[in-house]
Structures are given as structure tokens and as C-alpha cells.
Structure 1
Amino acid sequence: MDEPLVSIVIPTHNSEKTLLLCLESIKRQTYGNIEVIVVDNFSRDKTVEIGKKYGAKVYIRGPERSAQMNHGALKARGEFVYFIGSDFVLHPRVVEECVQLMKQGYDAIIILNISYPKPSLIAKVRFYERLSYYGSGVYEAARFVRKNLFIKVGGFDTRLYTNEDYDLHRRLIKLGAKITRTRRSFEIHIGEPKSVREFIVKSIYYGSNIKYYVKKNPNIAHITPVRPSFFKREYIAYLGRKWLPGLFLVPMFKILQAIVIFIGMLLALKIYPY
């Protein structure tokens, strides 16, 4: 019996520094029936060249990643669509585990996403922050989904270029989708900010779009800086053993990030008051 085709959709924009590692991790998947779709937002580097070299179907589309991912899904031939960032490195069995779960009757899968902790202190803080979210149900979003259900729910909201995955997740839940999470495999995010400047620029960019997201999703628990997952007994015990400064740095980072995002929102309101 043929295994179902999985379409991996990757939105890119000047992504040559990470795309190679991302595609290499897809190449190492234990599951064989995969097509790779790269939807590029007019890159000026070698992103498109790298995508074609690895046999990906490459399309040119803008203006933001929500529109790019929707275009990729429309071009996808797979029964299942898996949306990943160009700065993700995949565990070798992640697609295999997701397909097994889909065969059990699930409609969408949450995949544990952790940050690569090496490049900077910010990345290390993000690594331990993301570990706290596993199983929370609030700070997670399904990105491996049945294509027909993705189309039915309307795809990604193209007015969002941040938190678009959380928005999709909430609409899937409202539609009655059966959602679970991986237990043995994960994704590694290798694109965390490597400097304070990069962190500020990225946070302001996200903040500039947050007004619309909050208006659409009044329950904003997952974007507030004070998060119950930080205070779980087992998480505190783990952090105390592995990286004691994290007990202070993780919540402080989220507070600082919230402040910068708020500044980004205010700047956007000044430019686009409506």
C-alpha cells in the first residue's frame, strides 16, 4: 500500500543562511513520500538556487508568509501539508511520526518546537522558554494538517504576518478538528536573534501587526508575558538543575519582549491609525 504524500511548504525571503540546513534535514527524513515546496518572497540572495538544487518546487510569491504558505498549499499535491520556517531543522522521524498519528484519525499535529541554544544568550533563554510550553495547549499551534481541512478552514489569514499559526490553530479547534502532538520527534528553530539589535527589530516588526491579531482573537493568553507554564513545579525543578539563571532570565525576557512588541504596536498605530 502506497504511503500518503506529504507536502512540506517553506516560505522564504533571503533565507540562504538557514535554508540549506532545513532542506538537508528534510532529505534525512525516514519517511520517503515527501514533496518540498519553497514559496519565495523575491529573495536577492541564493535562496531560490538552493531550493532548486535540492529538488524543491519553487514559486515566487509575496507579500508575506501567510500568503506564501497559502499559495504553497494550493500547489501541494499531498494529502497532508506541513508548514515550516526556512530556519527549522527537523528531527529525522518527525514526518513519519506525524503520518502515523494521522492514520489514527487525527486531523492536525502540534510538533514540539525548540530553539537551538548555542548562538547567543537570547537563543539560550528561548530554548528553555519553549521547553515550558510543551503540553500547555496555549502556546502551541498545529502546522501539520490535512490539506482538505486546511482549505475548508480558509487557510492562513493573509492580514496576519505574526501569530498566523495560532490563529489557524484556533479556527481548526472551532471547526472540531481532532488535534494531538508528537511525543518522540521535534523541530529545532535555528533562527533566533543573535544580538540585541536583531531581537528589537524582530519584536517591533511583530508588534506592528499585533493590533489586528488581538482584535480577531480577544483571548490573548498566549501573548501575555506572565505565563503559567513558567511556574509549573516540574519546570522550575528542571530549570533549577539545568540552568539556574533561567529562573530569572526566562520571565524577564518575556516582559522585555512584550514591552518592545508594545512599542511596535504604538508605532504602527501612529502610521496606520485605522
Structure 2
Amino acid sequence: MPEVSFVVPTRNSGRTLEACLRSLRAQVGVAVEVIVVDNSSTDATPQIAARWADRVLTHGPERGAQRNAGWQAARARVVAFLDSDMVLDTGAASEASAAFCQDPGLGGLIVPEYAFGAGFFARCRAHEKRLYAGDPATEGARFFRRDAVELAGGYDESHYAGEDWEFSDRVAADGWTIGRLKSAVGHDEGRLSLGRAFAKKRYYGRNFYDYAMLPRPRRRPFVRTSLVGSPGRLAKAPALTVGLVLLKAVEVGGMLCGMAEERRARRS
């Protein structure tokens, strides 16, 4: 019987999926189960998943529904949700399993995240992740006690932007504590460009409108004080800081564009 079940939602994830699944298979110290939930991929994703995963499910339309299908099929008492472009440290599963055993009130565990990729703007993203490190406004748990997932009712399937924050906060609202691992997870940004960043945020902005309308405390504050809270670190990498300002301006523009499009569509 596995001690940790990994759930990985996919959609045309062929570029990054094998590295992700390799990192899950490389976990040491505990038995793990890997479940891929694919949303009708047309690239090599199904073949890669079949080679590395214990189970491959087909489900959609978005990550919330995919994650729910995955954890409902999982067998372990600890369930971890990773994206298909992430690479996990090899000791994370055993560290998480031990933490849940030691603290019966622990409901979720945040995994510190770093970014990597090709090109200038990928380095800017990595700079951003370093500035965010430890900021509770930007992080959500990825490892959960299964009992906590069941009590919360799983992910809200109406959200595909901010759904990880909303779910993590709902688990905490149920009275569980949220802890933090020392092990980290890397996010593969690929070759990040301004056009790609704008398009991605525009897509998520169409759904983020619903998240933005949630009452506090079900939604997070939108101002990221951690970006300006460490002027020394900003000054040490001036080129990356200028690039990050440009990247965030483009992303905010994409998000606002998507939200405005959704608002107009609902009014028409």
C-alpha cells in the first residue's frame, strides 16, 4: 500500500511530463503511487504517462476536476498535487509522510518553489520566486492529509485560476494546520516570453474574475508586498529586477484583459 499518492493533471504536457514523473519515481524512503489525469492530450503525453504512472485517467475540463478525479482514485493517506511542469526533490514524500505521522492536526504542507528555464525572462521568474520565498500570500499547500481533502470536499471545479490557493485556505478554515517542507519543487518555465506570459494570464484572467469576487478570507490579497519588501535583494540584481517589473506589468495587463472580457461576456 502506498504511503503517498501523487496526482498530476495534464494537457499536452509532453515537453515537461517525463522529468516530472521521473522525479516522483525517484522518491526515497516511502512507497508512492503516481496517478496522471489527462485532459484529451494530442501530443506524447498519454504515452509518457503510460510509461511512468501507476494509473492514467482521462478527465476534464480543467485542473480542479482532474485533481478531484485523481485523489478520489488514490489509495494513500497522503495525497500530493503537482503540476506536470514541476520537478520534486527526492526526499519530499518521506519528509511529508513523517510530518503527517508526527502531527495529527496537520492538514497540508507547503513545498517551497523555485523556477528554472531558458532565456532572460525565465531568469526574471526565478528572481521573483526567490523574492516570494516564505510569503504566505503567494503559497498554497501541495501535500494533504486525505482526511482533510475529504472534509473540504476537494477542489472547487468552477475555478481554474486561484483554485490551489482557495483549496489550501479552505483546508485551513476547517481547523487543520498548514506546515512547510524543507524539500523543494522546481517549476520549469521553459523559454518564457512576454507574449506567452500575456496569453497565459489573459486565459486565467477570464476565470480569475470569479476568484476575485470571492469574499475575504476565501481570496488572497492581490498586492504582493514581498516583491518590494527586500530592497537589498532587488538592488543586487538590477537587470533582473527591471525585467521582472516589465514581466509583471505584462502579466497584470493580461489578467485585467481576461477579467474585462469575462465581465463583458456576462453582461451581454
> Does TM-score exceed 0.5, indicating one fold?
yes
1:62 pairs, out of 60, 63, 81, with 60
CA distance, structure 2, for counterparts of residue 165 and residue 221 of structure 1: 11
Report the AA paired with residue 211 of structure 2. Y
2:29 pairs, out of 31, 35, 38, with 31
How far is 1:222 from its partner?
A: 4.2
How far is 1:30 from its partner?
A: 1.5
Contact 1:230/1:251, CA 8 A, preserved across alignment: no
Question: Residue 254 of structure 2 corresponds to which residue in structure 1?
Answer: 260
How far is 1:52 from its partner?
A: 1.1
Question: Residue 236 of structure 1 corresponds to which residue in structure 2?
Answer: 231
Give a deviation string over 1:127-180, Cα, whole Å, max 9, x none. Answer: 111122222211110010011210110111000011100001111121111111
Q: Does 1:128 align with 2:127?
A: yes
CA distance, structure 2, for counterparts of residue 215 and residue 110 of structure 1: 25
**Could you state the TM-score of these two structures normalised by the residue count of structure 1?**
0.90
Please list, as runs of the form range in 1=range in 2, the aligned pairs for 1:115-194 lying within 5 A after superposition: 115-116=115-116, 118-183=117-182, 185-191=183-189, 194=192
CA distance, structure 2, for counterparts of residue 14 and residue 174 of structure 1: 34
Gaps of 5+ in 1: none
CA distance, structure 2, for counterparts of residue 253 and residue 43 of structure 1: 29
How far is 1:191 from its partner?
A: 3.4
Aligned length: 265
Question: Residue 94 of structure 1 corresponds to which residue in structure 2?
Answer: 92
Contact 1:167/1:217, CA 8 A, preserved across alignment: no
Contact 2:16/2:188, CA 8 A, preserved across alignment: yes
Question: Residue 112 of structure 1 corresponds to which residue in structure 2?
Answer: 112
| Secondary structure, counterpart of 1:223 in structure 2 | coil
Aligned-residue CA RMSD in angstroms? 1.9
Contact 2:107/2:172, CA 8 A, preserved across alignment: no
Report the AA paired with residue 261 of structure 1. M
Contact 1:153/1:171, CA 8 A, preserved across alignment: yes
How far is 1:273 from its partner?
A: 3.0
- After superposition, the Cα gap between the structure-2 partners of 1:199 and 1:50, relative to the gap in structure 1 and judged at 3 Å, is same
Contact 2:79/2:143, CA 8 A, preserved across alignment: yes
How far is 1:27 from its partner?
A: 1.8
| Secondary structure, counterpart of 1:127 in structure 2 | helix
Report the AA paired with residue 270 of structure 1. R
Report the AA paired with residue 29 of structure 1. Q
Q: Does 1:20 align with 2:18?
A: yes
Please say which of residues 263-272 and 85-94 is displaced more in the overlay: 263-272
| Secondary structure, counterpart of 2:128 in structure 1 | helix
How far is 1:264 from its partner?
A: 0.8
How far is 1:70 from its partner?
A: 0.3
How far is 1:270 from its partner?
A: 2.1
| Secondary structure, counterpart of 1:78 in structure 2 | coil
How far is 1:252 from its partner?
A: 4.1
How far is 1:193 from its partner?
A: 5.8
| Secondary structure, counterpart of 2:7 in structure 1 | strand
Give a deviation string over 1:93-142, Cα, whole Å, max 9, x none. Answer: 111221222122122100011111x3122221111111222222111100
